[in-house]
């Protein structure tokens, strides 16, 4: 499949200008310029804000994980390199101090061992920021500027489900900054970014579409590959192969390939079992592209044909998904949306003989019975992070992107079915960014048996 048409430079020109290679094609720097403009509008007068790149995380011995950029600094600068610092000071006396980017200084040794790093000129081409210094110059640049400011905005990971066990560069900087400048007023950057990042620009939507298209190529490949006897990890290998082949860094999150009873384990990631004749295999995966995520789930019969019971459960989930997608409209909120999806699921579970209508009528509304078979939420924000930033109490707004992923999990029957698409909210109704990815049971069977 051809990637979504994007207004990017030809790749040969990109490599010549930047003196480096990147898997994804260049992003229009207007995205990052506009993101910074929107962010600084929310700062109190006389404020300075600082953002740090992620660390390169160690494994053991001298091993390291592949670098993954902090999504907030990427959102504001487009810089995808370690040891980067972004300083925003819109009220600075000198214009050159209003936006400053600090980069890791390269050397012949670094080029020999790690390859080329961004030059100052390349960083300006990517970000639109004119003032570029080396990271080693940060403290002597920051000190005089911070005394011009009355407030300092610092960044933390305020995702409600964040694991903060490992200390970040931002966390270390907070400790250092407050120790050096204890009399300044400190503010949180995270609430501003949570609100801004929830609504995607047209450029961001284009990047998410590209991630979805790469995901589609992987899924279509799998439909001709899955057969009784294949191993879950072989399916995972096929997914990753297509991602890397199409300029993705890889999965946006750890893929779930869960056959048989494994499909009833919501975050099953071992992917180490053999797929058996007569079972379903649930696959939850999504490509990353230019740091933007996609998130797909499909459930298919290992042998290419649904049993009548599997088909009944599958069609029930599909009906709920279609009804849920139709409710992803401006003005709705997640709490009311989830309650309405739950009502649709109750009807389907009654029709499948899994719930009793009388019991449902008398149930405790705080502990709905459908939760036994559908125990997770239907939707979450998606963007730079697969579980992207967003206020759960905020009304749906055009430009937001949500997943829609109802499921039914029947442990005693070893049946788990989940279907997930990525949905853009618009003034004119929901737009399915994965509408071309096969989902109808008949189409799935036809493609698997072609």
Q: What is the DSSP string of 430-447?
A: -EETTTTS--SHHHHHHH
Does residue 442 carry a catalytic annotation? no
| Mean pLDDT over each residue of the chain, to the nearest integer | 94
Domain boundary among 197, 226, 244: 197
Residue 292 included in any domain:
yes
The answer on 210 and 118 residing in a single domain is no
Catalytic: which of 28, 418, 422, 445? 418
Burial of 282 (C-beta count, 10 Å sphere; 0-12/13-18/19+): buried
Alpha-carbon span 450 to 445, nearest angstrom:
8
Does residue 405 carry a catalytic annotation? yes
- Please write the tens of the pLDDT for every residue from 349-390: 999 999 999 999 999 999 999 999 999 999 999 999 999 999
CB 401 within 8 A of CB 426: no
CB atoms within 10 A of CB 428: 8
Residue 117 included in any domain:
yes
pLDDT at 3: 38
CB atoms within 10 A of CB 445: 18
The answer on 224 and 190 residing in a single domain is no
Whole-Å CA distances, 280 to 220, 257, 302, 450: 17, 10, 6, 19
What number of CA atoms fall less than 13 Å from residue 253's CA on the CB side?
Answer: 21
50's tokens: 């600082």
First to last CA, the chain: 19
Domain boundary among 197, 220, 243: 197
Residue 4 included in any domain:
no
Does residue 387 carry a catalytic annotation? yes
Does residue 420 carry a catalytic annotation? yes
Whole-Å CA distances, 311 to 308, 315, 415: 5, 6, 11
The answer on 352 and 240 residing in a single domain is yes
2's tokens: 């051809």
Does residue 254 carry a catalytic annotation? no
Does residue 36 carry a catalytic annotation? no
- Please write the tens of the pLDDT for every residue from 396-432: 999 999 999 999 999 999 999 999 999 999 999 999 9
Domain count, the chain: 2
Catalytic: which of 97, 98, 169, 380? 380
Domain hosting 413: range is 199-448
Does residue 159 carry a catalytic annotation? no
Question: Torsion angle of alpha carbons 434, 325, 224, 289, nearest 10°?
Answer: 30
Does residue 409 carry a catalytic annotation? yes
The answer on 329 and 292 residing in a single domain is yes
Residue 2 included in any domain:
no
Domain boundary among 179, 197, 215: 197
The answer on 274 and 180 residing in a single domain is no
Catalytic: which of 37, 185, 371, 376? 376
pLDDT at 21: 52
- Please write the tens of the pLDDT for every residue from 11-29: 333 444 444 457 899 999 9
DSSP character at residue 268: -
Query: Residue 58 maps to which CATH number?
Result: 3.40.350.10
By residue count, the chain amounts to 450
The answer on 220 and 141 residing in a single domain is no
Does residue 376 carry a catalytic annotation? yes
Does residue 284 carry a catalytic annotation? yes
Catalytic: which of 83, 420, 422, 445? 420
Does residue 380 carry a catalytic annotation? yes
């Amino acid at each position: 499949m051809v990637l979504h048409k994007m207004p990017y430079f030809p790749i040969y020109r990109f490599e010549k200008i930047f003196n480096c290679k990147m898997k994804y094609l260049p992003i229009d720097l207007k995205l990052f310029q506009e993101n910074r403009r929107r962010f600084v509008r929310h700062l109190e007068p006389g404020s300075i804000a600082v953002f740090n790149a992620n660390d390169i995380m160690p494994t053991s011995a001298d091993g390291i994980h592949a670098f993954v950029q902090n999504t907030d600094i990427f959102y504001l600068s487009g810089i995808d390199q370690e040891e980067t610092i972004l300083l925003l000071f819109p009220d600075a006396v000198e214009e050159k101090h209003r936006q400053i980017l600090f980069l890791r200084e390269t050397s012949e040794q670094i080029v020999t061992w790690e390859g080329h790093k961004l030059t100052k000129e390349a960083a300006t081409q990517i970000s639109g920021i004119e003032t570029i210094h080396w990271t080693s110059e940060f403290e002597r640049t920051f000190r005089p500027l911070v005394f011009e400011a009355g407030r300092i905005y610092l960044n933390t990971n305020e995702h409600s489900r964040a694991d903060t066990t490992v200390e970040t560069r931002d966390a270390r900087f907070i400790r250092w900054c407050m120790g050096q400048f204890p009399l300044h007023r400190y503010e949180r950057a995270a609430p501003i970014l949570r609100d801004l990042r929830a609504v995607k620009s047209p450029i961001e939507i284009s990047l998410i579409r590209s991630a979805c298209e790469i995901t589609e190529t992987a899924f279509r490949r799998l439909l001709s590959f899955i057969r009784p006897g294949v191993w879950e990890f072989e399916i995972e290998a096929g997914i990753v192969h297509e991602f890397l082949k199409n300029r993705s860094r890889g999965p946006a999150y750890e893929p779930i390939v869960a056959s048989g009873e494994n499909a009833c384990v919501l975050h099953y990631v071992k992917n180490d079992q053999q797929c058996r004749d007569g079972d379903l295999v649930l696959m939850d995966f999504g490509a990353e592209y230019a740091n933007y995520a996609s998130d797909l789930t499909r459930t298919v019969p290992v042998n290419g044909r649904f049993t009548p019971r599997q088909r009944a459960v599958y069609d029930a989930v599909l009906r709920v998904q279609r009804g849920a997608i139709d409710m992803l409209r401006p003005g709705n909120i997640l709490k009311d949306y989830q309650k309405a999806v739950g009502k649709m699921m109750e009807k389907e579970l009654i029709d499948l003989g899994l719930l009793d209508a009388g019991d449902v009528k008398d149930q405790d509304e705080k502990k709905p019975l459908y939760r036994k078979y559908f125990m997770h939420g239907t939707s979450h924000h998606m963007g730079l992070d697969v579980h992207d930033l967003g206020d759960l109490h905020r009304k749906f707004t055009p430009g937001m992107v949500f997943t829609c992923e109802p499921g039914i999990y029947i442990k005693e029957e070893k049946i788990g079915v989940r279907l997930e698409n990525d949905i853009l909210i618009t003034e004119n109704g929901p737009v399915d960014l994965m509408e071309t990815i096969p989902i109808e049971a008949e189409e799935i069977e036809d493609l698997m048996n072609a």
